[in-house]
Structure 1
């Protein structure tokens, strides 16, 4: 660790010494959970070391809205933002407007990160993003309530979850009418694509589009998956779950009004904060599986990228290098439960003490199910929107799963046209 810190400090000092004068960078980072504050802490630490200034800008919480904003800015070749935090599925969509970081960040630093994520961020030989944190969907559960109602482990299947959620909900509503069994991301946006991909995959229904580019979503296992989740809405999940994003689900859960929640790892540290009503009562497990299937977690995660039109590319790349470094990823893991993209940190005692499930769920994080962004390329947004809209129609009971997936199959084949 001392060698890493020394190497990084020297590179930062060199970068600082090479500046003729201090600069101000604009950073479009995070807005979910404690994301903005954590970005500010890291940016401030880099600024203190280098003598530069970083100005954070507020960004939309919904990834779809963020992408649209960034595409508008980058398409106009605007230099207003120097550094962007980009989703794992965006490199192919905006990569042509991003700096090749291979020219600024030493290969030794790049190679510390999971190779698959580095490869994901490499477009046409250009490294357009450095891994910042990775993500995979997990199941949160109330340890105290499971014990209270006679359960000694988290549900392994969706049927078990439904049964457990129903029993706990019925009991808790005697004293808390607002209590529900299970919350998730049911709003029509990218988050629903992530949740629904987990449901389908966990039933053995594959992905939306396979690795060869074939549309595969219209199959019996996928229909079963959507039937199962549709059955939860209005029973153990509130009807309003179809308006929930990450934060809406977390707010219900953290207030003590839900037995189970599907969300990303960031929610753990918030639930364990001083003052949290459920502090010390939080368990984390792999998401349930369907009959004959296995647990599935959608691969999430975010990268840091430098605007190709930035007027301060060296300084922007230096900021990215610092924020994606071992010591900064370790800090973020310990203080805010963000999944590192550096394998060694999953064995770090301080990290595992702060976030115990990082060790037990390591395989979940490293074998997560990817969204079909690579194979569908520039058409991914259309694919994801069509998929989430079809699933949303099922959750809101405007369509049955079978007809919804048949219609979706036709839509996706039209989007595919002559090829992705």
Structure 2
């Protein structure tokens, strides 16, 4: 934990001469994944130039679990070191007591422009603790050139189709590239694996781990079939090292031209299209495959901006949040870095759709994504997610049979529920 406290501080300063001396200095714990840091800095720079204030953009841990642990440590100590936090969609219920209530600071006319479900996710016991910044849902990336080369005209609709296509392409490409694999995803034992595995289970019709009434539903035949399928990929179409992959590790393999398919979040599109990328211009994006019957499922992700309840500059911090979550800034980030807006109107914006065409075709994927059971399990969500990810990890590493893993998981979750959630 001590290592997490050593944040690398990079400062963005507005060049406004004497006006700057009258401003305040804010600290912003933002992003470290993909183009995230640069985009955070660019937005903070613009606000600083506009207001005459200064923003220190903090380099935070890439892993969401490490980031949450750091935030909880700081907030638990009532530290004012950070003014604005970038918060995962599943965190409001975990840290709401430490965040500023924005109900009176954010006009209702502004909130009404965002997806209602995301606003609701940021509302805890009537307290608005975050403003939606960008939303997320898992998507399938594929190499358009390789699809054509091996005779495929459309993305796989089922996981079985993906396995078949990935194997054919892998076998062909291995003749000249021994590092090539058919499919990569996030298999590391953390929240990323929870997101991936929830997609598998849900797409097979196996439910959402815990249903909205609080009942533990994970141990069922369809969830079992999903985990059996995923286990069969590892060492076949997927490298065994996938159990060490987070978002960036999977993206690095994909962007190096060493995979036919990848599951990731929308941010990976802009990163892959950058100048110098070997796969630029060869990237297709589709809904994730479904289980038997073809039902696709994508885990809801996304991030919000929240103000530290112990901030010494709450007024300025709120102003920074409102600027960064505005339509103009969300549009810029969508065009430059393929971040999904939380404003429905931007999904019809011509400039946005030109830069990120799949935002239009996959609009339903983003708006109907599967939520993790954070709202139901409340303060126990981390325990539920950790147990789920660990069980799936034991399956992927072949240390446990899927049936045994699900039975054990059911027992763990039932015990947690018995203590209340």
TM range (shorter): over 0.9
Q: Secondary structure at the match of 1:303?
A: strand
User: Do structure 1's residue 402 and structure 2's residue 403 form an aligned pair?
Assistant: yes
Provide Cα deviations, 1:174-217, integer angstroms capped at 9, x if missing partner.
01110000000000000000000000000000111000000000
Residues 3-402 of structure 1: pairs in structure 2 closer than 5 A: 21-402=22-403
Measured in 1, the distance between the counterparts of 2:391 and 2:258 equals 29
Given that 1:104 and 1:317 are in contact with CA atoms closer than 8 Å, whether structure 2 keeps it comes out as yes
Paired residues in the alignment total 402
CA-atom RMSD in angstroms:
1.0
Provide Cα deviations, 1:224-276, integer angstroms capped at 9, x if missing partner.
00000100000000000000000000000000000000000000001111110
Q: Secondary structure at the match of 2:56?
A: strand
Provide Cα deviations, 1:60-82, integer angstroms capped at 9, x if missing partner.
00000000100010011000000
Following superposition, the deviation at residue 20 of structure 1 comes to 11
Measured in 2, the distance between the counterparts of 1:417 and 1:203 equals 28
| Mean Cα deviation higher: 408-417 or 131-140 | 408-417
Following superposition, the deviation at residue 416 of structure 1 comes to 1.2
Given that 2:157 and 2:294 are in contact with CA atoms closer than 8 Å, whether structure 1 keeps it comes out as no
Q: Secondary structure at the match of 1:38?
A: helix
Provide Cα deviations, 1:322-354, integer angstroms capped at 9, x if missing partner.
000000000000000000000000000000000
- Structure 1: 5+ residue runs without aligned partners? 1-18
Measured in 2, the distance between the counterparts of 1:142 and 1:80 equals 44
| Mean Cα deviation higher: 337-346 or 410-419 | 410-419
Given that 1:173 and 1:179 are in contact with CA atoms closer than 8 Å, whether structure 2 keeps it comes out as yes
Q: TM-score normalized by structure 1?
A: 0.95
Measured in 2, the distance between the counterparts of 1:313 and 1:159 equals 52
Q: Give 4+ residue runs of structure 1 displaced > 3 Å after superposition.
A: none
- Structure 2: 5+ residue runs without aligned partners? 1-19
Following superposition, the deviation at residue 316 of structure 1 comes to 0.2
In structure 2, the partner of 1:14 is none
